Structure 1
Amino acid sequence: MMALVTGGSSGIGLEFSRQLAEKGYDLIIVSNSREQLDAVCAPIAEEYGVRVIPRLQNLATGNAAEELMEWCDSQSVLPDILINNAGMFYFKELSPELMGKAEVMIGLHVTTPTKMCILFGDRMKQRGSGRILLVASMAARIPAPGIQVYSATKAYLRSFGESLSFELKPYGVTVTTLCPAAVATPLYGLKKGLLNFGVAIRVIHTPQWLVRKALKGLFRGRRLMKPSIMNAYLPPMIKMLPSNLEQKIWDRIKVKL
């Protein structure tokens, strides 16, 4: 059994790598950081007694999915589980200076996951089995200033994943879309003290908690997962805000960015 985890050398992706290894899965860990790959692959292999194959690759390029598929073919490996986790985050007012970051985010959250699902999903269809997980976000339901590209791309992932699950199910392939709320990782750039406080009052969850929930849903073939009570109340509360109040809040926040 083998799992491929994109962005698997840090944050939520690293926790997916660890927990899948604990379940006995060999791993392909894809990351754009050689330093992180060197730091995590050998320890995971040693601790859990599984095969761990590092793949250094930038997944934000237009042909990244095709290159990864070709590499897997050259290694004669086809994962039983595909975790589309690689991503990025920034909180800024959109401007020409952010064009490059926006393009990278669209590549990581839209272009590459779509192509990965097409390419690897087709191989899974031919085999008659497989599991795909897409990491979206609670932000998929929160179109808001500052995270305009992030929330839009995560909304795409949620819609795409739910639609694809219907198409692949008859072939023995499940697609699970995960929409986590806030998670205690470096992705958001929050100070450690603030992260710890958020975890203590349970508005921020640990990667360990999230991945346990996600894998349970993945193996049960769940179509959509929205762990955390914040998923139930925060998006509706934000939608209830009058637009003029939301504008005033944003005007105050952006001067501090």
Structure 2
Amino acid sequence: MECLVNSCVVALVTGASSGIGYEYARQLAARGFDLLIVSNEKEKIEDAAQMFISESGVKVQPLFRDLSAPDAAIELFGYCKENDITVEILVNNAGIFFFRDITDVDEDRLSILLHLHILTATMLCRFFGREMASRGKGYILNMASMAGWLPYPGISVYAATKSYLITLSKAVYNELYDKGVGVTVVCPGGVATNLYHLSRKLMRLGVRLGVLMPSDRLARKGLKAMFSKKRCVIPGVINYLFLPLAKAIPSFMIRYVKRHSKLYRYGL
């Protein structure tokens, strides 16, 4: 596909074909930013690009890439260099989720999660963060999760990768602060997207009960924090208040819930 955004300053959003990434891209386009949007869903990312162009009139380059590949970050950076694309905003959003004990997870699926959440996200921060620092400006937004503070069974690896992203982001925030680059890590609770494989009925119920946050609302809060150069944000008062309680749940109670949970019988 011919590059549509040569010699442009863009916002780069990974995992932008659906869910939170789609909302980040849509709202950045509404603010007037040209976009480079990346996903492993070819048709969806191309449809998203056409939608953003028709809604906002910005330039949008859809890019079909598997960001879980070991060399994905350097290849994406190389693509930008070859096409003279300057990334002013990097949104590291691409991710996957599954609910299963580490001993029961398929090793290929486990490898995809680790490469996507840790290797690719880290290297994108490194490559594009260095260029932002040399220009004296830029923004990096990393999508983590409240799970990063909750070492619960069933999400052990997912939670560990999000904990890594939280630590990485907070450290890089201080590394790049004096160089004019903002680094923000967003740590939501449940979000009403297809990530958790819930039915639409359950998602609507979760939103009404305040257990799930709509993706457009989360994206607004994330972008507001990013442009304010906040280091870390936990969107939603309920999530912020719930986190200390969730941390305090004793292990014996966690194991009791695990033994009686249908999720462990049917898994995701």
Matches of 1:256 and 1:213 in 2, distance apart?
A: 34
TM-score by length of 2: 0.93
Q: CA deviation at 1:207?
A: 0.7
Q: CA deviation at 1:256?
A: 4.1
Matches of 2:105 and 2:23 in 1, distance apart?
A: 33
Displaced runs of 4 or more, over 4 A: none
Q: What's the counterpart of residue 168 of structure 1?
A: 176
Q: What's the counterpart of residue 150 of structure 1?
A: 158
Q: Which string of whole-angstrom CA distances, capped at 9 and with x for unpartnered residues, describes residues 9-36 of structure 1?
A: 1100000010000000000000111111
Matches of 1:188 and 1:255 in 2, distance apart?
A: 16
Q: What's the counterpart of residue 44 of structure 1?
A: 52
Structure 2 residue runs of 5 or longer lacking an equivalent are: 1-8
Q: What's the counterpart of residue 27 of structure 2?
A: 19
- Look up the equivalent residue of 2:30 and give its one-letter code: E
Identity of aligned residues (%): 39
* Pairwise CA RMSD: 1.2
- Corresponding residue to 2:205 among 197, 200, 210: 197
Is the alpha carbon distance of 1:244 and 1:97 closer, same or farther for their aligned partners in structure 2, counting shifts above 3 Å?
closer
TM-score by length of 1: 0.97
Q: CA deviation at 1:92?
A: 1.0
Q: What's the counterpart of residue 134 of structure 1?
A: 142
Q: Which string of whole-angstrom CA distances, capped at 9 and with x for unpartnered residues, describes residues 2-57 of structure 1?
A: 20000011100000010000000000000111111121111211210100001111
More displaced, 222-231 or 8-17? 222-231
Q: Is 1:107 the counterpart of 2:115 in the alignment? A: yes
Map 1:1-257; keep pairs closer than 5 Å. 1-95=9-103, 97-253=105-261, 254-257=264-267
Matches of 1:15 and 1:227 in 2, distance apart?
A: 15
Q: CA deviation at 1:192?
A: 1.0
Matches of 2:172 and 2:46 in 1, distance apart?
A: 34
- Look up the equivalent residue of 2:265 and give its one-letter code: V
Matches of 2:208 and 2:254 in 1, distance apart?
A: 28
Aligned 8 A contact 1:181 1:230 in 2: no
Structure 1 residue runs of 5 or longer lacking an equivalent are: none
Aligned 8 A contact 2:149 2:247 in 1: no
Q: What's the counterpart of residue 6 of structure 2?
A: none
Matches of 2:220 and 2:265 in 1, distance apart?
A: 39
More displaced, 96-105 or 245-254? 96-105
Aligned with 1:237: secondary structure? helix
Aligned with 1:80: secondary structure? strand
Q: Which string of whole-angstrom CA distances, capped at 9 and with x for unpartnered residues, describes residues 170-215 of structure 1?
A: 1110100000111100000111111101111222110111111111
Aligned 8 A contact 1:137 1:180 in 2: yes
Q: How many residues align?
A: 257
Matches of 2:239 and 2:148 in 1, distance apart?
A: 11
Matches of 1:215 and 1:79 in 2, distance apart?
A: 16
